[in-house]
Each structure stands twice: as C-alpha cells, then as structure tokens.
Structure 1
Amino acid sequence: MLSASELADRLARNAEAVCRRYLSAGRRIGNYWIVGDVANSKGRSLYVHLTGLRAGKWTDAATGQHGNLLDLIRETCGLVDFRDVADEARHFLSLPQPVPVALREDDDIGSTPANRPAAEQARRLFRMSQPLAGTLADRYLRQRGILHASAHASLRFHPCCFYRDLLTGSRTSYPALIAAVTDAAGAITGVHRTWLDKDGDGKAKVEDPRRALGHLLGNAVRFGFPVDGSVPILAAGEGLESMLSLFQVMPGMPMAAALTVNHLTAFVPPPGCQRLYIAADADAAGRHGIEGLSRRAQAFGILPLVIASELGDFNEDLRRLGPDRLTASLRQQLAPPDAMAFLRA
C-alpha cells in the first residue's frame, strides 16, 4: 500500500494527466496548468507546476489555497476522508496514462534551437528588437495614455515576433512590445511580450496577447533605476501598463513591474530600499500579491506602503480619470516628503 507521500510523488510524475482529468476547464501554458479555481471554473487564478522540482504543487492566487495533487483531488472531488482521497488517487494511477505532448514556449524568435535556455532566448529576442520611439508599440502605449515610454531602455519593439498557439502548436507572427525583465544587478533574465494588432487596433486578436519568457521569479521590468540599482524608495506592482502609468505622473520614482501576482509576491527589493510602495490592483488576486510582498519587505526591514487605484488599475485611472485626478489621488496616499519629491506639480 502506497503512503501519502508516495501517492503524491506518483501523481506529480503524471501532473499534466491529473490536471486534464480533474481540471479539464484549464489548459497548459508553458510549464503550468492554468484554471480558474479548484471547482474547475474557467479562469487564470489557479496554477499547477507541471515540471521540475515543484511538479504537482499548486497555488490559487486569488484565495491563497495551495497544496499537492492529493489536496487537489480532495478539493475537486469534494472528498473529506483521506481514505477516499487515496482510493481516488490509486484508481487514477491504475488507468493508462497518455504521453504528454511537449508544448514548447521556446522558439518564439524563429531560429532559436529548442534546447536553448529560456533566459538566453529572452536576451536574444531583446537584442533583435529595435528602439521604441515612433514604432507601433510606442503608438499603442500613447493610446493608453503613456506618453514617454520611448525614454525607457527596458522597452523595445519587434516588428515580427512569433506567436505560438499552445493548444494547436500553430505559429503566426505579429508586431510586439518587448519589455526586458532584469535582476537586481540589471542583467536581463527574461522578456515580456505584448503582441499588437498589425493595423494599430490595440492588442493582437489572439487568446494570450501577453506572455513572458525566461526567469521571472524575484525579478521585474524596471523603470527609472540608477545604474547601481540601489534605491531608497520605489514602487512595485503587477502590470506593465499600470506601472508605466504611475511613472507618467511620478517620473522621479523608480518602478518595478513584476508582471503577475505570484511574481509580485516573490519580488526581491533592491539593496538600500527603505520604503516600498506596493501598487494595488482592485481584485482579490491583487490583494494576495500585496500581502505576500508586504511580508517579504518587512522581512528585509523595509517599510511597505500600499497605494490603490480608484478604478481597476492605474492605467484605467490615467485613461478614464486623467493625469490630474491620478496625481491628486496619489498625493493623498504618499508620505508627504515623497509626494513633494516625486509627483508632478
């Protein structure tokens, strides 16, 4: 009779098959299975690691729930007694298991060998991109109220970036906004891509117009950081456009966009940081990210302070309420010396 840990290990070796059976409303994206929640709802809040040392581990960013695949079977099947959970797991493991299809999120720049490390692919894609000024990506951001994005060295434009449909494996290409993800030393560890409509009508009409590549954990897209990376005060948040919107009205404050709630929780503040403003999106997952990063900041001896948007996020505030209203709202939330130092008059 297999123990609980042995059952969990066996399930983890078949993590994708477990997800396809018990979380059929989700789908594979890269090395994760993404779904709405343990009730098998459609969405993107719950993610399951499919490979590596954390294979089989899952987290729901909206609720904070987490566990292994035994816990997942218990939740999805509504079981209470461990004996019933173990019986269901043993039954699943007795079934013929399909060989998982390798859906690669690796060859997005055309000629990249499949075994090239993701961080190297990301650096190569960034090198192949061009300066942002005057491009379709620059115009896209201006339409979003972000007027000075071309001043950021971390943002570039690729006119023909491959997009892979993770369900069918088919590839097409679209112009894309490329953002460099960097570590505390400024080294590029990944990129974030926003595929754009070729006719200038916002984002490309694909299922996932935003996608990251490379090593994101602890890192971020950064704006306004000094060369040595040491800053006493900065703001960190989830979305790229949300943080660019904040920079629009606080151009002197360094900013970091972690790109997802889970990566925001894991963001590593730079050396010398004393105050960390956490930009809050107005949803449950955003609150989870705030709590996680607040605990991390406090562990480093950094004072965490939350700044909240009035609408869904700061880009929505900038576009719908205008820069003056956004500035006034931030003036009420920043520490007075920071409001004086960083907000536009």
Structure 2
Amino acid sequence: MSSPAAEVARRLADDAEAVCRRYLSHGRREGHYWMVGDVRNSPGRSLYVRLAGTADGLRPAGKWTDAASGDHGDLLDIIAASCGHASFRETLDEARRFLSLPAVIPGERNPAPRKAPRGTPEAARRLWAGSKPLGGTFARAYLAARAIADLRDAEWLRFHPHCFYHPSEDDVPDVRRAWPALIAAVTDDMGNVTGVHRTWLDAAACDKAPVAYPRRAMGQLLGHGVRFGAAAPVMAAGEGIETVLSLRQITPGLPMIAALSAAHLGALAFPATLRRLYVARDDDPAGAAAFATLCERGRPVGIEVIGLKADQGDFNADLMTLGRPRMIGSLRSQLRSADLSLLL
C-alpha cells in the first residue's frame, strides 16, 4: 500500500466504529468489536472488526476477520466491498469523502491496484474450477469413513489436493498452509456458483485437518446452499454438509440443501416449487432459532416447515452409531405419511 493510502487507513482506524456504522450498517457493536455477516454488509455475526487497538500494538483497531471464511483485512477493504468498487482509486476517494479530506493529495502518485478481498464469488468460482471430481480421492474415503457412501446427485462436491489454508490467531505458529480438501459449491436456484465450502482433511488420520478452523466458506452465501437433487415440492434442509448427506443415506429421493450455518439456514431462499420443508435441526439454541425463523417465513407463503430430530443430537452420529435400520425407524415416525415412500 502506498504511504498516502496507509495514512487514510490509519485515520479510518481512529474512528473505526463510525466507519462500521456507515458501511456495515446491518451489524452492531458488541464489546470491543463490530459484528456483521460479511464484508458486503450482510446480516449475521461471522465478521468482526476490532474497534480499539491493544496496548501492545499487536492487534490494531480497524482490522477485521471473517470467522466463516478466515479472510481478514482493514477498513479500506470494508469500504471497497460494501460499495462494490471496481478500483482502489474509487475506494480511496470514498474514504477521503468520509474523512472530509481533499479528494486529491498534491504530489500523490496513482496507487497500485489492490487485489480484490479474498472470499468473493469470483475467488470461489476459481477454486471450484481448479478442483477435481470426488471419485477415487481422499475426500471420498473421508465421507465413507463416516458411513456416507451413497453420493448420487452430489455433482456439487469436488476434491482439491492442495487447498490453501490461511492461518488464524488460534492456529499454532507453524501450521501447514495447504491441505487436501473436500470442496462443496454453493449455488443459487439457477445453478450459478456463488461460493464454496472447504473442509480441510488429514490423509494420515482419515479425519479433518488439525487446524483451528477445518471448515470455512467463502463467497455469497446468504439465501444459497450446497444442493443435492433438483428443487421439488418436498425438500429437506440442514446446516452442515455431513448432516445433510447422512440424512440422504436414508432418504435418497428427497432433495436437500446444506445451508452451512444456523444463520444461513434461517435465511435460506425457498425454491418456487417448495410446499413442505423438513429441517434437520441441530440440537442447540442457534438451530432452534433458525427453525423458528423458517417457520415464520414459510407460514405466510404456504410452506409447511417440519423439524427432524436426531436421536444422538446429530444425524451423522445416528448413522454411525445407531445404523440405518434404527435411523429409518426414527424418521418413519417424523415424516408425513405421504412422504414415507422416500425412505429406503
């Protein structure tokens, strides 16, 4: 970053809360942080901006981190993303207007273009394009170890052998920067890739990679999800990919969507044909809140929302510990009679 831009960023950090209130208006202050969904000002709590620096100077004000994607940056990145700027010059001009500074500083050279913030839909599509089919990969073995073997209609799952991992403050200093990963495409109703979800894997342990955040999503997630099967009048939705895939081992004819978090589950866009939605609820307050939100949204538009409860609190735990016959028996008592034919 050039020196004038660094000075603009410093001045923004001195008034970080005012910047957040202007450009991240869907968020709110919580303690020393501003919480919001993402850099594009979506509702939620994944992204947090530090409003005051620490005394040692190691964690300055104005720096932000997105817990969902692992991305981070400064307040200039926030302004660029929330305003949809195409160039860094636009961002600097907007920041100067906010700070009531002159639009042009005498003698300033044209700043070098900055890379777009990581986590954009474009970055997600590049990662998706660089991934390969699941067949014969470690990602397929990872799912099989969790009793997930039936992957019909799983064209939105791929594998990346060397997926970059951006360390967080919670990782050990020498954490590896790349791991194999299960890649899941987040799509809209038209099949356009708007984001990706990454599950970093450890081939030696046949488990998730030993990093602080082995699951991260990036791109435009709000309203979208990882889809299995075409939209239909009767569908199911859940938070996690493994939760949804576990349920599909028992009801493979039921189209499903993994929303990737409780907040995104509550905000899931209803397909036009949907009339009944089963929700694989996580047994926690966030899952209960997402279910209540879906019920409130579904009622006025004639969509029946029905909760599905796992005996072990998690459908993958049910699949692995109870087995398919007991899972079928449990679901038989929760599905509408008209939908029992969907069970194996």
Structure-1-length-normalised TM-score:
0.70
Aligned AA for 2:206? D
Q: Note if contact 2:250-2:324 (Cα within 8 Å) is conserved in structure 1.
A: yes
Matches of 2:116 and 2:236, distance apart in 1: 36
Q: State the SS of the aligned residue for 2:184.
A: strand
Q: Kindly indicate whether residue 71 of structure 2 is the aligned counterpart of residue 22 of structure 1.
A: no
- Residue 279 of structure 1 deviates from its aligned partner by 1.1
How big is the shift at 1:13?
Answer: 6.4
Contact 1:182 1:190 in 2 (8 A): yes
Matched, 1:310 2:311: yes
Distance in 2 between residues matched to 1:14 and 1:53, nearest whole Å: 7
Alignment CA distance shift 1:199-1:121 (3 Å)? same
What's the offset of the Cα at 1:149?
Answer: 2.6
Kindly provide the CA deviation profile for residues 151-188 of structure 1, in whole angstroms up to 9, marking residues without a partner as x: 51010000000000133898600000000111111111
Match of 2:333 in 1: 332
Deviations 1:47-66 (A, max 9, x none): 54575546xx7669xxxxxx
1:12 corresponds to which of 4, 15, 21? 21
Report the equivalent of 1:195: 200
Secondary structure class of the residue paired with 1:269: coil
Q: 1:264 & 1:48 partners in 2: Cα distance?
A: 16
Asked whether 1:220 is paired with 2:225, we answer yes
Structure 2 unmatched ranges of 5 or more: 1-14, 73-113
**Contact persistence 2:153–2:229 (CA under 8 A):** no
Give the number of equivalent residue pairs.
Answer: 273
Match of 1:260 in 2: 261
**What SS does the aligned partner of 2:140 have?**
helix
1:233–1:14 Cα change, 3 Å: closer
Superposed CA deviations along residues 274-329 of structure 1, whole A, max 9, x for unmatched, are 11111111112111111111112223221111111111211111111111111110
1:101 to partner: Cα distance: 3.6
The aligned counterpart of 1:128 is 130
Maintained 8 Å contact 1:122/1:213: yes
- The code of the aligned residue for 1:22 comes to H
Q: Deviations over 1:99-118 (max 9, x none)?
A: 534658569xxxxx831671
Q: 1:98 to 1:181 in 2, by over 3 A?
A: same
Q: Aligned partners of 2:317, 2:338: CA distance in 1, in Å?
A: 26
Which residue matches 1:138? 140
Q: How does 1:120-199 map to 2 (within 5 A)?
A: 120-149=122-151, 152-167=154-169, 172-199=177-204
CA distance in 2, matches of 1:114, 1:315: 39
Change (3 A) 1:11 1:148: closer
Question: Following the alignment from structure 1 to structure 2, what is the Cα–Cα distance between the partners of residues 209 and 171?
Answer: 12
Whether the 8 Å contact between 1:132 and 1:150 is mirrored in structure 2 is no
Gap change, CA 1:334 and 1:159, over 3 Å in 2: same
- For the pair 1:100 / 2:62, whether they are aligned, the reply is yes
CA apart distance, 1:12: 3.4
Residue identity matched to 1:241? E
> Which residue matches 1:342?
342
Counterpart for residue 274 of structure 2: 273
Shift of 1:150: 6.6
Aligned in 2, Cα 1:140/1:59: closer, same or farther, shift over 3 Å?
closer
Mapped to 1, the partners of 2:203 and 2:280 lie a distance apart of 31
SS at match of 2:136: coil
Distance 2:23 2:155 in 1: 42
How far residue 198 of structure 1 moved from its aligned partner, in angstroms, is: 2.9
Q: Deviation per CA, 1:65-104: give whole Å up to 9, x if none.
A: xxxx9xxxxxxxxxxxxxxxxxxx9xx89x9994534658
TM-score normalised by length of structure 2: 0.70
- Is the Cα–Cα contact under 8 Å of residues 243 and 314 in structure 2 kept in the other structure? yes
Match of 1:72 in 2: none
Runs of 4+ in 1 over 3 A off after TM superposition: 6-16, 47-54, 57-60, 95-99, 101-107, 168-171
Q: 1:197-220 CA distances to partner (integer Å, 9 max, x unpaired)?
A: 031430000000000010100001
**Cα displacement (A) at 1:128:** 0.7
Query: What is the letter of the counterpart of residue 324 of structure 2?
Result: P
Structure 2 CA distance, aligned partners of 1:302 and 1:191? 28
Letter in 1 for 2:183: I
Q: Is this contact kept in 2: 1:238–1:261, CA < 8 A?
A: yes
Q: Pairwise mapping of residues 40-119 of structure 1 onto structure 2 (< 5 A)?
A: 48-49=36-37, 51-53=39-41, 98-101=60-63, 105=70, 114-115=115-116, 118-119=120-121
